[in-house]
Amino acid sequence: MTSDDAARAFLREHGAESIEHPGGTLYSHLCRVEQRLTACGAAAHVRLAGLTHAAYSTDGFDLALISWTDRQRLQAVIGPEAEELVYLYGACDRNRTWPDLVGTSVVHDRFTGQEWLLGPDGIGPFVDLSIVNELDVIEQNPGLLVKHGDYFRDLFARWASATSPEVAAEVRLLIGSR
């Protein structure tokens, strides 16, 4: 069984197919995020993180498949590098982190109150995962683009220096740019 297969089995075992999410179920959303990251040429650990990014809940989707205190369970399925990205994504306090993320490389942890400093190799994957997630939600619920499009265009423009060219192209295609 591949890591992708194991991750999909993990998601199904933890009920992701029965949780509603824009565009169907949480499981279908997670699969679309992974597929878009794959199409954008993301590294294997980033694709696995995209597939499982909501395991501990997120600041925008407060329903966890497992507790963030039980990290070793997910780590055993997707590996430590992917799990670390999932943890940071789930733990991210978006209001405190997103506006200055590229300038500070700091993720404010909503679970523990800690601050995590992303290294030079960590900021790009975190930004790409964050953008691809939001693009999928917007694509599944176009009303969000009408309501929040300017916010996301501004935010993604601030993140441009850390965004991969492939993800930046997806942004331009789906929501335009500032």
Mean pLDDT of 60-70: 95
Domains assigned to the chain: 3-168 (1.10.3210)
Mention every residue, 6+ apart, whose C-beta is less than 8 A from residue 52: 7, 10, 11, 30, 74, 77, 78, 82, 86
pLDDT tens-place string over residues 35-45: 999 999 999 99
pTM (2 d.p.): 0.96
C-beta contacts of 74-79 below 8 A and 24+ residues apart: 74/10, 77/3, 77/6, 77/7, 77/10, 77/52, 78/3, 78/6, 78/7, 78/45, 78/48, 78/49, 78/51, 78/52, 79/3, 79/45, 79/48
Mean pLDDT of 96-114: 97
Distance CA 148, CA 53 (A): 22
User: What pLDDT is attached to residue 2?
Assistant: 74
User: What pLDDT is attached to residue 176?
Assistant: 85
> Shortest CA distance to 53 belongs to which of 24, 22, 16?
16
| Residue 50 pLDDT level (bands cut at 50, 70, 90) | very high
